[in-house]
């Protein structure tokens, strides 16, 4: 009889322990169910391209950014063309960063990039020649515009590891994605305030410093030529001579 009571007592204690565990699990489940979901981070930008195709997405970026930058008259400061300069039948195959535009040896080349991983834009002023009035105030705004094109491209076009933006007939802003890892993590408006896009002569000192820090060492003179052995076109970049 005593043995039966002892067995029943152990059974009862085990039952209570299981009930306590079950109750704790139910309580935890209820707490987790009632706890509000974490607040998602803010979007990187208020606008983003909707096209799934890289080429179409690049065209949307060109149209969106190009429409934002205007002269005081309201006219677009430049047209933004998505794509390479020159004939489509003879595309640029390689981007080569060199010490000078007349490299003599392989050691003169600092980097060679496959153009298929390079998104290109042309900031076109004059309708026929794409020439741009090279005033300091206008160039300061165009450097900001080129930077914004690059940031949108890196954020939303996975295939692009570099961006080359032709600023008129004399300069190219050439940037690579790893150089902007910090800017791609923070929302776009942290780097480039979006409320009021500046017109020539209205870039604030803070914005001027940001743009200068991110673009000054990435502006190049350029020349497009044919590679001797293959005949393929090469975009040759070198630090400005002036």
Q: In this model, does residue 207 exceed pLDDT 70?
A: yes
Using CA atoms, how far apart are residues 76 and 69, in angstroms rounded to an integer?
6
Predicted local confidence at residue 170, as pLDDT: 81
- CA angle at residue 219 from 185 to 184, to 5 degrees? 5
Q: With contact defined as beta carbons under 8 Å apart, do 183 and 210 qualify?
A: no
Q: In this model, does residue 19 exceed pLDDT 60?
A: no
Centre a 10 Å sphere on the Cβ of residue 225 and count the other Cβ atoms it contains: 11
* Residue labelled with tokens 């350029």: 222
Q: With contact defined as beta carbons under 8 Å apart, do 122 and 145 qualify?
A: no
Q: Which residue has the higher pLDDT, 236 or 106?
A: 236
- pLDDT tens for 28-63 read 555 545 666 777 778 999 999 999 999 999 999 999
Enumerate the H helices of the chain as residue ranges: 2-34, 54-68, 136-156, 181-185, 188-191, 205-215
Q: What is the mean pLDDT of residues 87-102?
A: 93
Predicted local confidence at residue 34, as pLDDT: 61
What confidence tier does 129 reach under pLDDT thresholds 50, 70, 90? confident
- CA angle at residue 160 from 156 to 162, to 5 degrees? 120
Q: Which residues contact 113 (CB under 8 A, 6 or more apart)?
A: 94, 95, 96, 97, 161, 162, 176
Q: CA-based Rg of the chain, rounded to a whole angstrom? A: 29
Question: In the chain, what are the domain boundaries?
Answer: 1-40, 54-238
Hey, what long-range contacts does 202-208 have (CB within 8 A, 24 or more apart)?
A: 203/137, 203/140, 203/141, 203/144, 207/144, 208/140
- CA dihedral sign of residues 67, 68, 70, 72: positive
What confidence tier does 67 reach under pLDDT thresholds 50, 70, 90? very high
Q: In this model, does residue 105 exceed pLDDT 90?
A: no
Q: What is the mean pLDDT of residues 78-97?
A: 93
Predicted TM-score (pTM) of this structure: 0.83
**3-state SS, residue 207:** helix
Using CA atoms, how far apart are residues 11 and 220, in angstroms rounded to an integer?
83
Predicted local confidence at residue 38, as pLDDT: 73
């Amino acid at each position: 009889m005593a043995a039966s009571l002892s067995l029943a007592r152990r059974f009862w204690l085990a039952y209570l322990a299981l009930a306590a565990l079950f109750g704790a699990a139910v309580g935890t489940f209820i707490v987790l169910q009632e706890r509000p979901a974490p607040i998602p981070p803010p979007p990187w930008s208020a606008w983003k391209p909707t096209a799934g195709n890289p080429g179409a997405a690049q065209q949307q970026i060109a149209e969106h950014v190009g429409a934002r930058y205007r002269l005081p008259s309201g006219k677009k400061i430049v047209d933004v063309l998505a794509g390479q300069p020159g004939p489509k039948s003879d595309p640029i195959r390689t981007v080569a960063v060199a010490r000078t535009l007349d490299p003599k040896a392989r050691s003169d080349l600092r980097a060679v990039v496959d153009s298929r991983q390079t998104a290109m834009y042309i900031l076109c002023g004059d309708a026929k020649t794409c020439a741009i009035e090279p005033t300091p105030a206008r160039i300061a705004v165009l450097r900001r515009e080129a930077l914004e094109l690059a940031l949108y491209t890196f954020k939303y076009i996975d295939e692009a590891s570099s961006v080359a933006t032709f600023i008129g007939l004399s300069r190219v802003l050439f940037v690579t994605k790893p150089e902007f890892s910090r800017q791609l993590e923070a929302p776009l408006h942290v780097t480039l305030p979006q409320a009021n896009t500046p017109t020539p002569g209205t870039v604030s000192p803070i914005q001027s410093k940001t743009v200068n820090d991110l673009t000054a060492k990435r502006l190049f003179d350029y020349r497009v030529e044919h590679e001797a052995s293959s005949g393929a076109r090469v975009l040759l970049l070198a630090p400005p001579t002036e």
